[in-house]
A and B are shown apart, each in its own frame.
Chain A
């Protein structure tokens, strides 16, 4: 933790640019059933609209909620993962407002006492204070189409966790780094289900606070906040002031748009949810969740540095993707960890990113990676061809043995010196250029040698052979 920025944030002072940003992030939990009924949680399947419903999540007269204890347990895990204080006793409240996606026109949420509070998350060296973490129900999904707007109540009642920060961000980049880290922590905890949406509160130079709603994911947060900062600064330059209002982020136009009037904040008239009793968290339950809490990214990073002696950049890159981090630990049992780390953090991640695939979705098997890297360490395949093999494995969904054979990516070249002689004879102009002192010509000849050997002879060997022949 950067103590200095942490203290600055604690004091709540604005930086010279005067930017203050706070985030409220909603994440769907991946419990098997919904928050207040036994319906299946739609994050696990692609169900036809309105098939995962019951009287409770449809808000039928006479239906009542009952709390899904697994959702509370997930919430506790997140609270602990963010270093929060847990509520000893909690209860739910009704937040009443009218909207067509609401099955009851009130949302059951936590108001007075959140499940967890006063935590902190460190992102890129800066501690961001977590104000509160609470549970609430997701409304239905509205589908706007040519025949009008339809409501899909499959989503109605999906457990949502709302994670609220203090206004500790001083730039859009900090907000993005925080969200990336939060997403990572949730992935490590294994609780996140789907939608990851944020609302941002942003003010400049102590001016009015503007709320920007509906920002999805980590990429849009930077765009939305940057847009809003430019908008508010240009208002200021024209001598106008930002008004206290709620705006919506439009991801297609990449702008924020006025949403509600400026008449002030919506009035929700919270009451205690009278259909649910107070919930006391038994100490044993909390202790059990604490004991089974998985290793979190920061802990894993520290362990990777210490245990595998990885370079910090490599460790950071591995840890920032849970699948890759787990793969690394598996591969490092059979391959030199430094080689494994460099390859997974480098070529493998590059290939996956290029194909926009996660490791799980790529079809690659850990045993394939182990076999290939072991071959590489033995000198049985060149750097270049091993990278090629990874790419081909993803494209063709075949193990490295077959890929290498099919594309001739490894194996002995009978007489590398003969191969070089043929390359030199076939490229008299390059030889002439080399003799005139053009360094590029040597590289060209080495490149032709790589091509001719289908990459099976590495560049250093070829260079040596070309020089021997020409000098």
Chain B
């Protein structure tokens, strides 16, 4: 084995790609990769579908691009041509898309090799990946605990796999940051519109963002460089020149970090202390730190759930057993048939959100709920605009608690469940980029540091992230 001296484990994605471009035996690597993946699947159920044959088929044609030979997994709500894509829902069991999502197509074009589709809450509806139609992924750090959600499989896989790999994931209200925090990996949620949503199975279109879960900030940057950029097939994708390179260093002495006071309230005290400790370390390196206020944070959770469920309830209308996915014998009137299919194959949380969302947009409630939520969203966006006039980056805890045990999750009410997203929904409502980094441990479980930046200021986010990584675990840069 070419890299036998040090193994693949410590390699960054860029180092691996360089090895692959230099003639590393990819067949040998993928034999090891898939034997490992099978073992992990047995233990943690991190995948809905393994794409082993497709990977072997793709290897000879793997392009000599910037991701040459790099294994990438894809959250199951992102369409992959010829590979089942269910969004974690039984209603789409057996659905094989005839096209690749733009982000997937670009990653393949750069030489990436698709290895599988990762577990998630059905359509992204959840915080713990317990709402999947295909079993519950377990946290590799402690199988009695959740990976977080909704991109739980992606974060768990990054955590468990001691091999080069990046996970393409997606966030609507915190679905990348939350599992990044619970699994102790890095999660990058880019600015809304930076990565095309063409091929993303919609949860809430005005909030959905394709991003990355990976072992390091640079691994995240590498995939983002390939995925990002304008796409004519997504009208909401941003028309701007591609950045191409997110490797710039950042001088911490020129960085102003804001601590939003509202984001430390109601948070586990140990978590708040750990995050504060990380910020103190950055301050010691020269960063200026100041407290800021995001006064409309209190409206964010409600606004998020109204907008997200209103959009979701229309997105899910198309799943009726008529053209794809699961169906049942044609009997009765069409609406009876549709109802039977939907009753049988949607999970409880999907049904709950369809009902909530439908209610929020109906005459009589539309003004009070749906339209009001947009006003609240505007207030939340203004909060961030004001904050980013004062500081470059905001720092906060990613989640208010550590990765919970499944037994604890079972006793949560739906509202308590939704409250877990309290720290992540506001930046998602505003569509600003977010980076969750591991910043320490409590009781052997990872704590997430959430960095937020202004629209399209991914460079600042990644720059501070790199600085933090250098402070904590000097990674050999490739």
Q: Name A's B-contacting residues (CB within 8 A).
A: 55, 58-67, 94, 96, 98-100, 103-106, 148, 151, 267, 269-272, 274-277
Contacts and interface: CB of A to CB of B under 8 A. Distances in A.
B314 interface: yes
B273 to A, nearest CB: 39
B442 to A, nearest CB: 38
Contacts of A277: 235-236
Contacts of B362: 267, 269
Contacts of B268: none
B310 interface: yes
Contact of B361 (A66, A98, A271, A275): A271
Interface of B: 78-79, 85, 87, 92, 95, 97-99, 101, 197-202, 204-206, 232-236, 310-311, 313-314, 317-318, 320, 322-324, 330, 334-335, 338, 358, 361-363, 366, 370
A271 B233 contact: no
B97 A271 contact: no
A61 B87 CA distance: 10
A276 B95 CA distance: 26
A271 B360 CA distance: 10
Given A61-B324, A65-B235, A67-B235, A271 B95 contact: no
B318 A62 contact: no
A106 B317 contact: yes
Contacts of A270: 361, 366
A221 to B, nearest CB: 29
24 contacts: A55-B98, A61-B97, A61-B201, A62-B101, A64-B235, A66-B234, A66-B235, A67-B235, A96-B313, A98-B317, A103-B318, A103-B323, A104-B317, A105-B317, A105-B318, A106-B317, A106-B318, A148-B330, A267-B362, A267-B363, A270-B361, A274-B236, A274-B311, A275-B197
B98 A274 contact: no
Nearest to B204: A274
Contacts of B199: 62-63
B236 A271 contact: no
Contact of B201 (A58, A62, A271, A276): A62
Contacts of B335: 98
Contacts of B198: 62-64
B317 A96 contact: yes
Q: Which 4 A-B pairs have the closest CB atoms?
A: A105-B317, A274-B205, A274-B206, A269-B361
B314 A96 contact: yes
B342 to A, nearest CB: 10
Contact of A269 (B78, B97, B366): B366
Nearest to A95: B314
Contacts of A100: 322, 334
A275 B317 contact: no
Nearest to B89: A61
Nearest to A96: B314
A274 B207 CA distance: 9
Nearest to A149: B334
A228 B87 CA distance: 50
B236 A275 contact: yes
B234 A64 contact: yes
Contacts of B98: 55, 60
A458 B460 CA distance: 96
Contacts of A267: 362-363
Contacts of A60: 97-98, 323-324
B468 to A, nearest CB: 34
Contacts of A61: 79, 85, 87, 92, 95, 97, 201-202, 318, 324
A104 B313 CA distance: 12
The binding surface of chain B is classed by DSSP as loop
Contacts of B358: 269
A99 B201 CA distance: 21
Contacts of B97: 55, 60-62
A271 B359 CA distance: 12
Contact of A98 (B95, B200, B310, B320): B320
A59 B323 CA distance: 9
Nearest to A106: B314
B235 A276 contact: yes
Contacts of A99: 334
A103 B202 CA distance: 15
Greatest chain B CB density within 10 A among A61, A96, A100, A267 is at: A61
A98 B338 contact: yes
A267 B365 CA distance: 12
B95 A64 contact: no
A275 B204 CA distance: 10
A105 B370 CA distance: 20
Nearest to A94: B314
A67 to B, nearest CB: 7
Given A60-B323, A61-B79, 14 more contacts: A64-B197, A64-B205, A64-B235, A65-B235, A66-B234, A96-B314, A98-B338, A104-B317, A104-B318, A148-B330, A272-B206, A275-B234, A275-B236, A276-B235
Contacts of A105: 317-318, 320
Nearest to A100: B334
B96 to A, nearest CB: 11
Contacts of B318: 59, 61, 103-106
Contacts of B201: 61-62
B336 to A, nearest CB: 11
A140 to B, nearest CB: 10
B77 to A, nearest CB: 8
B365 to A, nearest CB: 9
Contacts of B313: 96, 269
Greatest chain A CB density within 10 A among B98, B99, B205, B324 is at: B205
A272 B310 CA distance: 10
Greatest chain A CB density within 10 A among B78, B92, B363 is at: B363
A277 B314 CA distance: 18
Contacts of A275: 197, 202, 205, 234-236
A270 B97 CA distance: 28
A62 B200 contact: yes
B122 to A, nearest CB: 13
Contacts of B200: 62
A304 B234 CA distance: 49
A96 B330 CA distance: 23
Nearest to B207: A274
A270 B311 CA distance: 10
B407 to A, nearest CB: 34
A463 B349 CA distance: 95
Contacts of B320: 98, 105
A55 B334 CA distance: 23
A104 B358 CA distance: 16
Contacts of A55: 97-99
A151 B320 CA distance: 15
A58 B99 CA distance: 13
A148 B311 CA distance: 33
Nearest to B363: A267
A271 B370 contact: yes
Contacts of B95: 61
Nearest to A67: B235
A104 B236 CA distance: 19
A271 B317 contact: no
Contacts of B311: 271, 274
